[in-house]
Structure 1
Amino acid sequence: MTKQRVITALILAPVMIVGIFFLPLKPFAFFIAAICSIGAWEWANIAGYKKNWSRILYAFFVFVCLYVSARFLRINPEWKIWFLAAGTLWWTVAFALVKRYPGGTDIWNARVIRAFLGLCVLIPMWVGFMHLKEEPHSSLLIIYVMLVVWGADTGAYFAGRKWGNSKLAPHVSPGKSWAGFWGGFATTIFLAAVTCVGLDLWLQPLTTEDVVKVFVITAATTVISVLGDLVESMMKRHRGIKDSSSLLPGHGGVMDRIDSMAAAVPVFAFMMMLLNWGLAV
């Protein structure tokens, strides 16, 4: 299993690096749309659509929705914040669903409802990535979001192993603990502090207001990234499956790799727009 994980990671890493950091805007849009479409194919299975033709149809439908969204936002860019606000609102609703589980499943048990929830996850993620790509120093912003997600996950792992007695959501993900959550949170807050120092020294002077905004954005993104993982775990547990697919040997499926990112990116982008924060040209 470890060998498979390493081989898969070695293959995926250069693809993701080139796709995220070196593609121009339009190819980048198709690259993220392709990832979303593969994720949609897997989400259809999570939603309860077992036949491959129905999963392919759902993936195609999601791709069409992304294309329509792209055309609409190109003409009406002022609507971008509403797309991101809707995505952020979904994660607020998702918190209530996770908290109630295993109760409350009658609300989202129907396959069509779970399929709709996939749109709430994937479309805002694409819009969030596009917003970051259009910003000055886009690669730096995307790297930072990834570091927040990885920092939350890494901090949670080590803190959870040492102090993780009180479970965060035992009915959804028994391995997650409150100690892990706070360990991940502390890690990302430290990351925010280091980032602020680095930005102030090497990129642009930061005011006290800028620093506060970075900390607020980081804190919100951290909390939601944890929720993204919990929501997919809840959906898979309800469906009775361990992985979203077996596309990535040793890693499960694409959704298993991007669940936290799918939550973090739109919230990060929304908070940037809401607080009117960004990096100077």
Structure 2
Amino acid sequence: MLKQRVWTAVVLAPLVLVGLFLTGFELFKLFVALIILLGAWEWANLSGIVTPSGRMGYTAFIAALIAGVNYFAPAADFQSFMVIAALFWLLALYWVVMYPGAGGWRSVWQRAFIGVIVLLPSWMALVSLRLNAEGSVFLLMLLLLVWGADIGAYFAGKTWGKAKLAPNVSPGKTRAGLWGGLATCGLISIGFIIYLELDLSVGVYLLLLAMIAGVASVLGDLFESMLKRHRGIKDSSQLLPGHGGVLDRIDSITSAAPVFVLGLQLLAIA
């Protein structure tokens, strides 16, 4: 299993980095769309759509939405969609905290609709971010925040983790891990504040936004775990040997990206 994980990472990591940072804008949009569509294929299963034709139809529907947005809605007008996505993640937080008690997400059609709210704004957020003059810098910051929240949580949880964060959803996550992840996000944001030479007020804002994005990234992971627990599956798929599915790798980005981009837009940075 470890050997599979290492080889998968060795092969995929350079491809992902090239696709995100070394392509033109149009290729970038297509590259991100392909990742989102792989996630849509898996989300169909999380929704309870299990037939190949049904999952293909759901994936085609998400593809049509992305194509429609790309054609009709300029990236500069995406802010309202980021607001909707951020509000959804507040609802998702309620579902995760109340699990298994709260309803409103359990039926097939409800989870399929949730997939639209999760996946489409994720594509829009990354496209909007890349369009900015400093887009590559903020894209790198977003990825480092998501990875930092995960890595910091792992080591802090291993060292100090006792109290569980959300035992009904993901028994392995601890409160100490959450704080460790947020501390890592804080350090990452300070590095970017120094690099961008931001003044104090903007720097404090970016620091707070980084912490919020870190919390959102954890929420995305927990929300997918909740759906997998409801479906009785361990991984969203086996597309990535040793790593599970695409959603298992991007669940934190789907939640953190709209929140992060909305915060930058409100500050008029991106």
Deviation string 1:214-270 (CA, Å, 9 cap, x unpaired) is 112201111100000000000000000000000000000000000001111111111
Q: Provide the residue aligned with 1:203 in structure 2.
A: none
1:183 pairs with 2:183: no
1-side partners of 2:148 and 2:34: how far apart? 26
1-side partners of 2:62 and 2:76: how far apart? 22
1-side partners of 2:38 and 2:149: how far apart? 25
1:222 pairs with 2:214: yes
Shift of 1:165: 0.9
Q: Provide the residue aligned with 1:256 in structure 2.
A: 248
1-side partners of 2:144 and 2:123: how far apart? 18
2-side partners of 1:191 and 1:20: how far apart? 20
RMSD over equivalenced CA pairs, Å: 1.1
Q: Provide the residue aligned with 1:99 in structure 2.
A: 97
Q: Provide the residue aligned with 2:148 in structure 1.
A: 151
Shift of 1:176: 0.4
Q: Provide the residue aligned with 2:229 in structure 1.
A: 237
- Deviating beyond 2 angstroms after TM superposition, the runs of 4 or more aligned structure 1 residues are none
Tell me if structure 1 keeps the 8 A contact 2:76–2:128. Answer: no
Tell me if structure 1 keeps the 8 A contact 2:167–2:173. Answer: yes
* Alignment partner of 1:85 out of 77, 83, 87: 83
Counterpart amino acid of 1:70?
N
Shift of 1:161: 0.9
Shift of 1:20: 0.4
1-side partners of 2:159 and 2:129: how far apart? 36
* Alignment partner of 1:120 out of 110, 117, 121: 117
1:161 pairs with 2:158: yes
Shift of 1:78: 5.3
Identity rate, percent: 44
- TM-score under structure 2 length normalisation: 0.97
Deviation string 1:28-78 (CA, Å, 9 cap, x unpaired) is 11111111111000000011111111111100100101111112212xx55
Question: Which stretch shows the higher mean deviation, 65-74 or 260-269?
Answer: 65-74
Q: Provide the residue aligned with 1:207 in structure 2.
A: 199
2-side partners of 1:40 and 1:89: how far apart? 21
Deviation string 1:182-227 (CA, Å, 9 cap, x unpaired) is 1111111111112212222xxxxx2112212211220111110000
2-side partners of 1:275 and 1:199: how far apart? 15
Counterpart amino acid of 1:211?
G
2-side partners of 1:255 and 1:164: how far apart? 26
1:25 pairs with 2:17: no
SS at match of 2:269: coil
Counterpart amino acid of 1:139?
S
Shift of 1:147: 0.5
Q: Provide the residue aligned with 1:130 in structure 2.
A: 127
- TM-score under structure 1 length normalisation: 0.94
Q: Provide the residue aligned with 1:40 in structure 2.
A: 40
Deviation string 1:147-179 (CA, Å, 9 cap, x unpaired) is 101111111111111111111100000000111
2-side partners of 1:141 and 1:60: how far apart? 30
Q: Provide the residue aligned with 1:3 in structure 2.
A: 3
SS at match of 2:244: coil
SS at match of 2:73: helix
2-side partners of 1:51 and 1:78: how far apart? 37
1-side partners of 2:126 and 2:78: how far apart? 12
Question: Which stretch shows the higher mean deviation, 79-88 or 93-102?
Answer: 79-88
Q: Provide the residue aligned with 1:64 in structure 2.
A: 64
2-side partners of 1:133 and 1:26: how far apart? 11
2-side partners of 1:15 and 1:52: how far apart? 27
Counterpart amino acid of 1:19?
G
SS at match of 1:108: coil
2-side partners of 1:242 and 1:38: how far apart? 17
Deviation string 1:12-38 (CA, Å, 9 cap, x unpaired) is 112101110011111111111111111
